[in-house]
Amino acid sequence: MIQLTYEEDWYRELVDELHAIVVEKNYDAQLALITRNWLLGNAMLEYALHWEKYGDKVVENIAQDIGLPRDYLFRCIQFARKYPEIGVSHTEIDVMKLPESTENKLPTWSYIKTYLLTGKEPCVHEWRAENIIIQKCVKCSKRK
């Protein structure tokens, strides 16, 4: 294997460009997932009065028809219900109104459903790198 280092200008430029692409597209993907999930939940809430008499069976049918798990859709509903203020339109949200959001970093969907929707506090023994947990929690022995 060839040993390349940052001393090579072209290599440093390539690595910097690739890193920028990864960071930008990871952010875009996270934003798309958060947006999709809020829009799904909000749309179901808007029709809730129509299916009130059918109960949770409607969500089960919707889950089957669109190919997403029932519990996932309930989380989307919970998300839209808890954060109605982030909705801008039927196709757009203002994710900066979410707790933990900054211009460069968004909460993951896992973080949203595990902590923001439940009110639980994140384990203090988590080590993170670019919003990804990289080490198991010694206290609870779980990888969050």
Confidence of residue 140 (pLDDT cuts 50, 70, 90): low
The reply to whether 1 falls in a domain is no
Residue 125 has pLDDT above 60, yes or no: no
The reply to whether 90 falls in a domain is yes
Integer CA distances (angstroms), 68 to 5, 17, 35, 42, in order: 45, 35, 16, 16
Residue 4 has pLDDT above 90, yes or no: no
Q: Which of 2-16, 19-33, 97-111, 123-137 has the highest mean pLDDT?
A: 19-33
Token pair listed for 6? 């940052």
The reply to whether 69 falls in a domain is yes
The helix (H) or strand (E) run that includes residue 31 is: helix 9-46
pTM of the shown model: 0.78
Q: Residue 39 sits in which domain range?
A: 9-135
* Predicted local distance difference test score (pLDDT) of residue 5: 72
Question: Where are the strands (E) in the chain, listed by range?
Answer: 127-129, 132-135
- Which of residues 89 and 72 earns the better pLDDT score? 72
Which region among 53-57, 77-81, 88-92, 134-138 has the lowest average model confidence (pLDDT)? 134-138
Q: Which residues of 5-27 are buried (b: 16+ CB within 10 A; e: fewer)?
A: eeeeeeeeeeeeeeeeeeeeebb
Token pair listed for 136? 């198991």
Residue 66 near residue 138 (C-beta atoms within 8 A): no
The reply to whether 140 falls in a domain is no
pLDDT digit string (tens) for 40-50?
Answer: 999 999 998 88
| Kind of pairing between the strands at 127-129 and 132-135 | antiparallel
The reply to whether 142 falls in a domain is no
Closest Cα to residue 34, out of 99, 93, 91?
93
The reply to whether 144 falls in a domain is no
* Predicted local distance difference test score (pLDDT) of residue 123: 66
Confidence of residue 130 (pLDDT cuts 50, 70, 90): low
* Predicted local distance difference test score (pLDDT) of residue 134: 47
Measured CA to CA, the distance from residue 15 to residue 37 in angstroms comes to 33
Q: How many domains is the chain built from?
A: 1
